[in-house]
Amino acid sequence: MPAEPCVNTPVPGADQYYPLNTPDIGEAFPPELYARNKDLPKLFQPLTLKGVTFKNRIFVSPMCQYSSDYGHATDWHLVHLGGYATRGVGAICIEASAVVPEGRISPEDAGLWTDSQIAPLQRIVNFVHAQGTKIGIQLAHAGRKASTLAPWVHSNAPRTKVAKSQVAHEDENGWPDQVYGPSEIPFASDYPKPKAMTEEDIQYVEDAFVSAVERCKKIGFDFIELHMAHGYLFHSFLSPLSNVRSDVYGGPALENRLRFPLRAAARVRSVWADKPLFVRISATDWAEGPEKGEDGVWKQWGIEQSKVFVGECEKIGVDLIDCSSGGNWAAQKITVGEGYQVPFAEALKKAHPNMIVGAVGMITLPRSAESFLSSGKADVVFLARELIRNPHWALTAAKELGVAVKPANQYERGWAELVIRH
């Protein structure tokens, strides 16, 4: 009988030819093939949320690239994000994408406020899916931190160019007179002064989030993350430092400050019903003094209010809390180090054991990441800067932890130690 033909099998249904990886890139081989995979480290155990299975628990954090063309993704994003998909991560979250043009952080930030932004994102999603990786997007509104210069435009690394202000003015493609927040309190003296949002403004932004979700459906994202951290619009509503309104959306009452973020999340959940919904929060403002004063009044946003907020998110069906911190108080003082924000994730996990919690912040060492998960402090890790330095981090972690995972077919020769059977 003639030998069965040997074919470089393509990915079925892909929009162009890509070799099929079996198992998926970054997925652990079955223990029947590699006995050392019988007891997988938590980092390489799959996670299923709302029917979506992530092959491992190494997630790419949203990373602003300041490289969009009036909100439209470019080939920079395809290469940047596609590279992670070919190197074994479990999920990729596209950077903060504004739901309205004035909700961008910088003039070159990503957006999803118009249908013309669908196609370039869909190209990225199709490529990432063809590599067997899940991908989502972080929907955002910058609030009072909008219309600011990209970091290297404001101050480049060698400090040979430093702008006088953070503000992106009209002749710098900015919109400083169309910046909005809960109150007329700028983030810092060199930031735009925001306009206090009216009821109509709040409804307009909420509706924009819903419209962006409908575009997410057309694009084919696997999950959505709502950006409620780092001093941007939703976080600024949550914190008493930035929200001094006297209506139902603000002031000292925690219930009022939660109202708009929770209402927006509930509406997104209602239209994004069948796939995972993440929420990124800042667990603390890192401002001086206590979270609550001796008079019983909340002084700043902190972990105790975050626990309440996460509990309410759980009630409306949020699937994962991405736990970060800071960004709302310009004078914040933070001592950073390996996993410095993990204690916040741990506190939220203890308060809400059924909520899936992600840890983020200076997670660089595979054994540290594994310890955070195996000890129950978090369920997934989000990496950003370490992946910039080492895009192959997932494969590096597998090697260090003794796990046999699948490198991309095209890269197997560089990762022979992961696939050689003894």
In the chain (422 residues long), the average pLDDT of successive 10-residue segments reads 84 97 98 96 98 98 98 98 98 98 98 98 98 99 98 90 94 98 98 98 98 98 99 98 98 96 98 98 97 96 98 98 98 95 98 98 98 98 98 98 97 92 72
Q: pTM, whole model, 2 decimals?
A: 0.97
Q: Pairing state of beta strands 223-228 and 134-140?
A: parallel
- Cα angle: 351, vertex 355, 361; to 5 degrees: 85
For residue 94, which of 134, 58, 137 has the smallest C-alpha distance? 137
User: What pLDDT does 157 receive?
Assistant: 85
For residue 215, which of 178, 268, 294 has the smallest C-alpha distance? 268
User: What pLDDT does 1 receive?
Assistant: 59
Contact (CB, 8 A) for 106 and 70? no
3-state DSSP assignment of residue 120: helix
Is 18 noted as a catalytic residue in this protein?
no
- Cα angle: 73, vertex 79, 82; to 5 degrees: 100
Domains and CATH numbers, the chain: 47-361+372-379 (3.20.20.70)
Active-site position among 232, 249, 340, 411: 232
3-state DSSP assignment of residue 349: helix
Contact (CB, 8 A) for 220 and 128? no
Helix (H) or strand (E) holding 238: helix 233-238
User: What pLDDT does 255 receive?
Assistant: 98
Determine the Cα–Cα distance for residues 103 and 225; give it in Å rounded to an integer: 16
The DSSP result for 178-225, as a single string, is G-EESSS--SSTTSPPPEEPPHHHHHHHHHHHHHHHHHHHHHT-SEEE
Per the document, the length of the chain is 422
